[in-house]
Structure 1
Amino acid sequence: MPLVLFDLDGTLVDRQSALDDAVSTLCRAHAFPPDVEQRLVLELAERANPGDFSRLGAAFDLKAPATQLWQEYVDLMSATVACRPKSSKAWPVCARLFGPSVSSPTGPATSSAPNWPGPVWPD
Structure 2
Amino acid sequence: MASWIARHIERAISQTADGFGDWCVNLQSTAGADRWAQITWEHINLAYPSADDPASALASLPDVPLLDIASWEPNTFVTFSHGADGSLPALADFMAAYFVHVLRLTDAESDWSVSEEAL
Give TM-score, length-normalised by structure 2: 0.32
**Structure showing greater Rg:** 1
More strand per residue: 1 or 2? 2
Give TM-score, length-normalised by structure 1: 0.31
